[in-house]
Amino acid sequence: MDAGKKLWTRDGAPARNDRDARVVEEEMTEEQRMQRELRSVRPRHDDPELPDDISANDLDRIARNELKTLTKENAETVGRHLAMAARVIDEDPQLAHLHVMSAARRAGRIGVVRESLAITAYATGDFALALRELRTYRRISGSNDQLPLMVDSERGVGRPDRALELGRSVDRATLSPSVQVGLAIAMSGARLDLGETDAALVELEIPQLNPNTAFSYSPELFAAYAEVLTELGRENEADEWLERASRADAALGTSGDDDETIEIEEMEEDEDDALASFVADEDNDGEDDHAEVDNVIDNDNAVAEAADTAETDDETEPDVTSPKA
């Protein structure tokens, strides 16, 4: 047997020769592939504590529906860990990550679980893990909703060229407006990484860059545009867009509804203390395992050390600081 190519038997033991080898990387089942991916995120400690006031019902309806393929008891436990992660991710992303890993050990085939694992990995700065989990989530769900985070994770592992290539691989017309905005911001950041400041500005000049209306994504888009203008030395314009971002954020905060469209009126300088008046319209385009897999944890030898595929070649990438623009 070629020493450079490791083969494995169906029970996970190393093959002694080609004759004994029955399973190789290209013949791995989807379940085996997921088991292999989860091996690297399994903690060697007990599950983090769940407070009594946390419930699976704290999750949104879509997430709860995905968990219905699990047993009732397992779905409740997984749901509580996901709900707890959502509660603490802003102040303690590492704890949120531990909760999602606990959920992943119990429900590794559920899309929302792998998506959550990617998000918490990103929040803790583990961009290689985030990228791998986002690929798995897209494979399970068929959704491109997390494409902006995938692009930003490519930036995080130091590959802005691949980030741009990934962003161009999907027809933006097929994405929701909010995902289009997130993708534009991530692509602009990749351009900045490459020193392409003019191109970074162009990436942000999309239909949603409208100073007269604001959606939930507008403050971040306006602020990103201001940042690139600053890089270009266009300070006065940058200040204007930062002010628009501030007004949009204030107006949206007052409305209390991310699905509303807010009309923003340009204010005179002596009226800066006043909140921009707005008119709200409904935005109908807005964000309106059926078996347990606990055995995954104990099956460390199932497909261990299989040759890395193209989709898992990020595992040894060095840690870098967050690229978020």
pLDDT tens, 10-25? Answer: 444 445 555 444 444 4
Give me the residue spans of the domains in the chain: 40-143
Name the token pair of 234.
């266009």
% of the chain at pLDDT higher than 90 = 61
- Domain 40-143 adopts which CATH fold? 1.25.40
- Residue 163, C-beta contacts closer than 8 angstroms, at least 6 positions apart: 151, 152, 154, 155, 186, 187, 190, 193
- Is the entire prediction scored with pTM above 0.85? no
Closest CA to 181 of 214, 161, 153, 207: 207
| pLDDT number for residue 107 | 94
| pLDDT number for residue 291 | 35
Buried residues in 287-316 as b, exposed as e (16+ CB within 10 A): eebeebbeebbebeebbeebeeeeebebee
- 182 has a pLDDT exceeding 60: yes
The helix or strand, by DSSP H or E, that contains position 214, with its residue range, turns out to be strand 213-214
